[in-house]
Structure 1
Amino acid sequence: MNDIFSRIDHSRTADEVVGQIESLILEGVLRTGDRLPGERELSRQFEVSRPILRDALKALEARGLLVTRHGGGTHVADVIGQVFSPPVMELIPRHRKAAGDYLEYRREMEGVAAEYAARRATADDLALLDRIMERMEAAHRTGDFEDEAETDVEFHNAVGECAHNIILLHTLRSCYRLLSEGVFQNRLLVFALPGAREELLAQHRAIHAAVKAGDPAAARKAAMDHITYVERSMAEAERTGDWQRVSRLRLRQRAGGDPADKRNG
């Protein structure tokens, strides 16, 4: 991890260290699972004694912000994405309305995020977006659906970070977590629809270009148009999957099926 921690300028107390690490988690600089540097390196970066540092880390761990793994160092705890509890996450894919509401919510929130990003993105933000777009282009060329889908989530996370609104950042991350944990399995089917991969790439390019150009209205429209397309495509992918399932059953039935099929018929 690069030097993201700053020397403590004032009283050099554990509270000062706690406050800085809290801010880094809240601003999304430190993310779930990130490993902190070792004790000696952290003491050097903060310019505090190791006893002060230990007190700060213990306080953060007691509050559930950090976890220490035996022999594995200190990591940022799983504090993001708690908007959806595990039982709710299991319910969402079972109810069609919930999936529709999810995309409706994302369309509005991502429109706001892209608009703010176009207004607020720094040069460093744009450099990160550029790198993610390069990875997305590379995944598109290789035809790796899963890598392309993973980079898609990373891109939207980065746009949310560019918006520089803490509440927006964390609520959007909780939404993307539903994707990364496979709650919406049919999203990968979208990439298999004819022309979908090219269209999705073009939409991400449009969001990227509008944010880079500092055009809030264009960024908002591009983001919302993208989610509208995803919504239609997921519905089409679901219908296509149903058609394939029925066609397969017809083929088996009319081909005579297996002996068990005949006995049950």
Structure 2
Amino acid sequence: MSDIFSRIEHSRTADEVVEQIETLILEGVLSTGDRLPGERELSRQFDVSRPILRDALKLLEARGLLVTRHGGGTYVADIIGQVFSKPVADLFSTHRKASNDYLEYRREIEGITAEYAARRATADDIALLDAIMVRMEETHRNGDFDDEAEIDVEFHQAVGECAHNIILLHTLRSCYRLLSEGVFHNRLLVFTMPGAREALLSQHRAIHAAVKAGDPLAARQAAMDHIDYVERSMHDAERSGEWQRVSRLRLRQRSTTNEPNS
């Protein structure tokens, strides 16, 4: 991990170390599972004594923000993106309306996020988006649905980071976690629809171009159009699956009915 921690300038207390690490977690610079540098390196970066550093890490661990794993090492705890508790997520997975409401909600929040990203993205943010788009193009050429779904989420998370709004960032991460944990319908369904892979890539290109150009209205519209497409594709995929199931049952029934009597 590069030097992301800043030298403590004033009294060099544990509270100042705690505040800096908390801010890095809130802003998404430190993510779930990230390992912090060793004690010696961390105290060097903060320019504090090791006893002060230990006190800070203990406070953060007591607050559930850091964990010490067996075998050594201090890591960021799995708290980012947990806006929805497991009982609520379980309810989402068993109620049809929640799936529709989820996409409706994402349509609006993705639109706002892309708009803010177009207004606020820094040169470093754009460089990150550019790199993700290069990888997305490569993944598209390879044609692996799992890889495409993974880079899709990474792209939207990066746009969320470009928006520089902490609440939006963590709300979006919670939305994507619901997808990755299979709370809603299989996200790979969309990629199986005819022409979907090309359409999705084109939509991501449009979002990327609008954010890069600093065009908030175009970015918002591109993001909302993207979710509209995902919603239509999900419904089409589900209907196709249902039609296929019914057709299979009809064929089976007719085959049985038409069998000669023994």
TM-score (norm. length: structure 2):
0.95
RMSD: 1.4
Name the % identity: 83
Distance 2:48 2:244 in 1: 64
For the pair 1:63 / 2:68, whether they are aligned, the reply is: no
TM-superposed CA distance for 1:248, in Å, is 2.4
TM-superposed CA distance for 1:255, in Å, is 3.5
Q: How does 1:226-237 map to 2 (within 5 A)?
A: 226-237=226-237
Aligned-partner SS, 1:81: coil
Contact 1:186 1:237 in 2 (8 A): no
Aligned-partner SS, 2:188: helix
TM-superposed CA distance for 1:186, in Å, is 2.9
Residue aligning to 1:220? 220
Residue aligning to 1:38? 38
Contact 1:122 1:162 in 2 (8 A): yes
Residue aligning to 1:22? 22
Aligned-partner SS, 1:21: helix
Aligned-partner SS, 2:67: strand
Supply the AA of the counterpart residue of 1:148: E
TM-superposed CA distance for 1:73, in Å, is 1.0
Residue aligning to 1:155? 155
Residue aligning to 2:95? 95
Contact 1:92 1:98 in 2 (8 A): yes
Supply the AA of the counterpart residue of 1:180: S
Residue aligning to 1:134? 134
Residue aligning to 2:81? 81
TM-superposed CA distance for 1:239, in Å, is 0.7
Contact 1:186 1:238 in 2 (8 A): no
Residue aligning to 1:116? 116
Q: Over residues 138-191 of structure 1, what are the superposed CA-to-partner deviations in whole Å (9 max), with x where a residue is unaligned?
A: 111011001100111111111011000111111111111111112223321110
Deviates more, 1:126-135 or 1:247-256: 247-256
Aligned-partner SS, 1:255: helix
Distance 1:140 1:184 in 2: 24
Distance 2:186 2:63 in 1: 37
TM-superposed CA distance for 1:87, in Å, is 1.4
Aligned-partner SS, 1:146: helix
Aligned-partner SS, 2:35: coil
Distance 1:68 1:24 in 2: 18
Distance 1:35 1:248 in 2: 51
Task: Give the length in aligned residue pairs.
Answer: 258
Contact 1:121 1:162 in 2 (8 A): yes
TM-superposed CA distance for 1:252, in Å, is 3.0
Contact 1:186 1:234 in 2 (8 A): no
Q: Over residues 206-261 of structure 1, what are the superposed CA-to-partner deviations in whole Å (9 max), with x where a residue is unaligned?
A: 0000000000000000000000111111111111111122222233333339xxxx
Distance 1:185 1:150 in 2: 16
Residue aligning to 2:104? 104
Q: Which 4+ runs in 1 deviate beyond 6 A?
A: none
Aligned-partner SS, 2:256: coil
Supply the AA of the counterpart residue of 1:153: V
Distance 1:91 1:132 in 2: 34
Deviates more, 1:54-63 or 1:186-195: 186-195
Distance 1:25 1:81 in 2: 11
Contact 1:153 1:180 in 2 (8 A): no
Unaligned stretches of 5+ residues in structure 1: none
Q: Over residues 38-67 of structure 1, what are the superposed CA-to-partner deviations in whole Å (9 max), with x where a residue is unaligned?
A: 111111111111111100000000011111
Supply the AA of the counterpart residue of 1:73: G
Distance 2:55 2:167 in 1: 29
Distance 1:256 1:10 in 2: 84
